[in-house]
Amino acid sequence: MLTKRNVVPETMRTTSRELRILRAGMDAPELISNCRVLTLLDHSSRELNHQLRTTLQGSQQPVLKLDEGDLRLTPVDFAYLLSRRLTNVLAGVSRAAVARLVIVYSPSWAGECRLPADAQRIRIAHRQIRDLLRIIYDQETAGQVQIIYGGFVFEEELADVLCDSNVDGVLMNK
């Protein structure tokens, strides 16, 4: 039976904050400070592209939050949504600049009702994000972008989520 203890965040509503990230093999979370969080579904692709490019030119750490909404999209639907939106948001962003980016996959559905297959769904979504970065840029650049899971995760499934090579960490509560 699943418990209510979780190790992941409150929602990321503010645009500037600090993030605590737990990575595989680490005892304590890593702190990333002075972040500017941009949410993919909150703005038009053109507006978000402008905000991302502006943030990349400044001193703030750019964090792009991906949320597929309240629905549990199939991997095919998620890949289509991701491809369409992320490609437009990253238009004109150089390889060197995108390597500074932190992507947080934080689906709204993750806080409502957890299903046994959700750890696999999380791993698939992270792989699809990394694969799209490989298509847009290249293998090396895709590997440099940090992709963090920012949704609800039970302690019991944390190791299962973190063992995937496409999941660079899990966002923690403060």
| Right CATH for 16-171 from 3.40.640.10, 3.20.20.70, 3.40.50.300, 1.10.1060.10 | 3.20.20.70
75 — alpha (psi -120 to 50), left (phi > 0) or beta? alpha
Query: Which residues are 63's β-sheet partners?
Result: 37, 102
Comparing 16-30, 42-56, 63-77, 105-119, the range with the smallest average pLDDT is: 105-119
Q: Mind listing the pLDDT tens digit for each residue in 59-89? A: 889 999 988 776 667 778 888 888 888 999 9
Domain edges within the chain: 16-171
- Spatial separation of the C-alpha atoms in residues 152 and 135, rounded to whole Å: 29
Helical H runs in the chain?
45-57, 75-89, 95-98, 118-136, 139-144, 155-162
Q: Which two tokens stand for residue 9?
A: 């965040």
Three-state SS string across 137-173, please? CCHHHHHHCEEEECCCCEHHHHHHHHCCCCCCEEECC
- Alpha-carbon 6 to chain mean position: 18
What pTM did the predictor assign? 0.84
Comparing 16-20, 49-53, 130-134, the range with the smallest average pLDDT is: 16-20
Would you say residue 174 has pLDDT above 60? Answer: no
Taking residues 131-145, report their average pLDDT. Answer: 96
- Spatial separation of the C-alpha atoms in residues 29 and 22, rounded to whole Å: 4
